[in-house]
Amino acid sequence: MLASQYYIRTLREAPAEAEIASHRLLLRGGYIRPVGAGIFSWLPLGLRVLQRVEQVIREEMNVAGAHEVLMPVLHPRELWERSGRWDIFAPTPLRVKDRADREFCLGPTHEEVVTDLVAMDLDSYRDIPATLYQIQVKFRDELRPRGGLIRCKEFIMKDAYSFDRDRDGLDRSYNAMYDAYVRIFERLNLPVVTVEAEAGSIGGTDTREFMLLSENGEDTVYMCDSCDYASNAECATSRAPDAIEPLAESRRELVSTPDTRTVEQVTGLLGVTPDRLVKTLLFRAGDGFIAALVRGDRALNEFKLARFVKGEELRMANDAEVQSLTGARVGFAGPVGLPADVRIIADHEVRAMRDFVTGANQDDAHFVNVNLAADFGVDEWVDLREACHGDTCAQCATGTLQAHRCIELAHVFKLGTKYSSALDATFRDAEGNELPSIMGCYGIGVSRIVAALVEQHHGKSGIMWPREAAPFDATILLLSPDDEELRAIADNLYTQLQDCGLDVLYDERDASPGVKFAEADLIGCPVRVVVGRTTRNEGKVEIRRRADGHEELASLDEAVAAVLRLRESS
């Protein structure tokens, strides 16, 4: 591509709204342009990167035996009602109505559409296994889009769905997709870690996320510093201290704690640290109430609580409910003397506590020296607390959990029969029994990968694209475009590199060397070839690998081989 004829629009300064490196550099490099908050257009350079990333994904999907399809963006409400997700999918999908008042959502994910699609033609066990995938625009009603391409309202995903006859088949399909994802990230030079995850609105079990550790990420993972344990924040668990012998006799005392609403206020007044208090959080779960107990310095993990109640509708008890259950204002609830039909569940850590503080279920009062068994019983022990940096690892019991910021790039799930049952994706087995197919689903954030690549591969002066994602494989800078002899050399090199199958950006524009160097660094192609003074004086070209600045001089005969070699190692 001749730079003089290409649409290159770099910026000297990054727009003020761009806070993270990928956002800044993609704007400055002329890769993307904003349309609205969390909505972007792709300029020619950006589209090239996007398409190369898609190509890597497509190749690995095809090798893994998946088949590409293209499903619609517009999903009729009826389909989502059949799966039961129209009202409960979180966050609520963007919805639209046509002129006849029919409702649709803009697909945030395609389980309904793909299951209905497969159901139309699925008849016998001979029709499956099958895995279908697409690369498609997705929509998410994001209230606070941020980080450029990291969190958008509209983005591009590759989503795949597998249909199998049985659990073993699902395991095979899942593993094939998992392995394909590992290869995709290897090819793109993105050192991801895979972590345990929560299925959320999609549903299912056995889910793993592929995370890129990055300071600009908005997710957190916990990794053990001595074994291979890794989990996202929602699922992470840590080792609780050993339980202690419960006390037989009560020694609790009522103390006055006027106007103390928070753990800090109570413990401050009583002169103890927050880990000596047990927090009592009241929830409405289905038709009943739950009191969830965690140590005062811990946060309750609501995903874990939701998992415990297994799909029962769950919300915090409101002020009136708290008043009626405890006889006190909010802030003074405790496990001692709650109505018998309130289920008391407690985090394992509470088992290791003695003589702790709890609310007294009366206004302006707490109990001190409360103990298990002597003062109250627990109906069920559950892992309820959020893991923290520095906790002991539950898997190896010796290592320490470390918190890392990260960007979620992909997610694989075993779905089971939730959608195939609801949307009739059933088949007849060899005996003629009608069975729901067993599904898995597998997503990769394609546009987010572009941002992640820049986060992972950039320097002060610009982007350093890994080979498989770069918009061009190499760039040639002709520093004296008026010099006929140099121009002939550069023209010749351009043709030779193209003949080798490389995409080359040839900067033969009438611009200063300084501008050309700065722009080449900003755009960040893997190899840069300079035809300039050294070429005139010594008959050599300068060849530089963007990733590490490694530079060589090559004769005109050796130049093509050197470019290929340095590109190969990018």
- For Zn ion, which stretch binds (CB under 5 A), given 2-10, 27-35, 226-234, 495-503? 226-234
Is residue 195 part of the contact set for Zn ion (CB under 5 A)?
no
What letter does residue 359 receive in the DSSP assignment? E
Nearest approach, Cβ of residue 399 and Zn ion (Å): 4
Nearest approach, Cβ of residue 229 and Zn ion (Å): 4
- Chain CA centroid to CA 110, Å: 18
Nearer to Zn ion by Cβ, of 87 and 242: the residue is: 242
Nearer to Zn ion by Cβ, of 392 and 461: the residue is: 392
Nearer to Zn ion by Cβ, of 227 and 373: the residue is: 227
Residues pairing with 528 in the sheet: 475, 544
Nearer to Zn ion by Cβ, of 386 and 542: the residue is: 386
CA distance 194 to 410: 9
Cβ distance 40 to 34 under 8 Å?
yes
Nearest approach, Cβ of residue 226 and Zn ion (Å): 5
Nearer to Zn ion by Cβ, of 51 and 395: the residue is: 395
Contacting residue, 128, 224, 235, 476, with Zn ion by CB under 5 A: 224
**CA distance to 333, 516, 527, per residue, from 479 (Å):** 76, 8, 16
Site track for Zn ion across 398-427, x = CB under 5 A: -x----------------------------
Contacting residue, 189, 250, 369, 395, with Zn ion by CB under 5 A: 395
CA distance 311 to 358: 29
Is residue 496 part of the contact set for Zn ion (CB under 5 A)?
no
Residues pairing with 75 in the sheet: 105
Pairing of strands 474-478, 527-531: parallel
How many residues touch Zn ion under the rule CB under 5 A: the total is: 7
Contacting residue, 393, 409, 452, 566, with Zn ion by CB under 5 A: 393
Is residue 227 part of the contact set for Zn ion (CB under 5 A)?
yes
What letter does residue 252 receive in the DSSP assignment? -
Nearer to Zn ion by Cβ, of 323 and 392: the residue is: 392
Residue 112, φ and ψ in degrees, nearest 5: -65, -50
- For Zn ion, which stretch binds (CB under 5 A), given 391-399, 462-470, 476-484, 556-564? 391-399
- For Zn ion, which stretch binds (CB under 5 A), given 223-231, 244-252, 271-279, 481-489? 223-231
Is residue 390 part of the contact set for Zn ion (CB under 5 A)?
no
Nearest approach, Cβ of residue 236 and Zn ion (Å): 12
Cβ distance 437 to 420 under 8 Å?
yes
CA distance 57 to 188: 10
Where are the extended beta strands (E) located within 297-364? 314-316, 342-347, 356-359
Nearest approach, Cβ of residue 79 and Zn ion (Å): 44
Nearest approach, Cβ of residue 403 and Zn ion (Å): 14
The alpha helices in 390-456, defined as continuous H runs, are 418-422, 446-456
Is residue 394 part of the contact set for Zn ion (CB under 5 A)?
no
**CA distance to 37, 480, 558, 559, per residue, from 563 (Å):** 40, 21, 9, 6
The answer for residues whose C-beta is within 8 angstroms of residue 194's C-beta and 6 or more apart is 208, 209, 210, 211, 230
Nearer to Zn ion by Cβ, of 396 and 518: the residue is: 396
- Binding positions for Zn ion, rule: CB under 5 A: 224, 227, 229, 393, 395-396, 399
